[in-house]
Amino acid sequence: MKSKPDYILKIGGSLLTDKASRETFSPQLDRVIETISRNPDGVVIHGAGSFGHPHASEHNLHRGSREGALETHRAVKKLNSEIIKRLHRKGVKAFPVHPSSASLRRPETEIMTRQILKMYEEGFTPVLHGDGIVTEDEGFTVLSGDEILALLEKKFDTGHAGFCTSEKGVLNSDREVVDKINSMENFEGLKMEGEDVTGGMENKVREVLEKNIQASIFGQDDLENFLSGENPGTTVK
């Protein structure tokens, strides 16, 4: 029995859904599922995409709200259920973990890492997602998949965490992949297209640096390489 997952992987919502259309799956979804099924020996997190983001944005859930949390959760749970179903079809023992029932902020973010680890040890692939979580004095706020990855990697220390995005990595002004980033100053304020309520590429970099972990940011074409143990795209440390 392995003591910790081989990897912590976050799949961006833009790869799984069509962000231009509410609650619409992306044509790329099955390709992502197929790739994960060849090495499911880790923890998978996915973004909310066109399922959760519209609800969260409408109710300003990222700033704290007592409205819209249930609508957001219902939407991301629907996406999560479809991903679980498709993984099962490929023989993966995927099991859902809904952060709204497993996390809280006061103001630090807490998530039930012991249960997730035990789930993995029992032969399942935990699948988490961005969600709204109860927050002291604020109602609910957004817990992004980016923050979930950083929290789990900080706890599990797999040494192999990564964000699979719609870009090949963090890009410079010439749209070339930056090999390494070790500070927000290095990041140089670069922002990707399609910024959303979780902060986009900048949020990924900030979460990794603030939690003092290492993670890769890469595109879908490098997903199989990442799952095989490589660190494609941009390394943030």
**pLDDT tens-place string over residues 107-151:** 899 999 999 999 999 999 999 999 999 999 999 999 999 999 999
pLDDT of 174 reads 80
pLDDT of 185 reads 84
The two tokens of residue 71 are: 């609508």
How is 187-230 classified by DSSP, letter by letter? Answer: HTT---SS--TT-HHHHHHHHHHHTT--EEEEEGGGHHHHHTT-
pLDDT tens per residue across span 30-49: 999 999 999 999 999 999 99
pLDDT of 175 reads 83
Name the nearest CA neighbour of 25 among 50, 54, 53.
Answer: 50
pLDDT of 194 reads 42
pTM of the model: 0.93
Choose the CATH number for 8-236 among 3.40.50.720, 2.60.120.260, 3.40.50.12280, 3.40.1160.10: 3.40.1160.10
Rounded to whole angstroms, how far apart are CA atoms 153 and 45?
12
For the chain, the domains span 8-236
Q: Which residues contact 107 (CB under 8 A, 6 or more apart)?
A: 135, 136
Rounded to whole angstroms, how far apart are CA atoms 169 and 162?
11
pLDDT of 1 reads 61
Query: Are 99 and 131 contacting, i.e. CB atoms less than 8 angstroms apart?
Result: yes
pLDDT of 200 reads 83
Cite the DSSP H helix spans in the chain: 13-16, 29-37, 49-58, 69-89, 113-121, 145-156, 184-187, 200-210, 223-227
Spans of the chain, pLDDT less than 50:
192-197
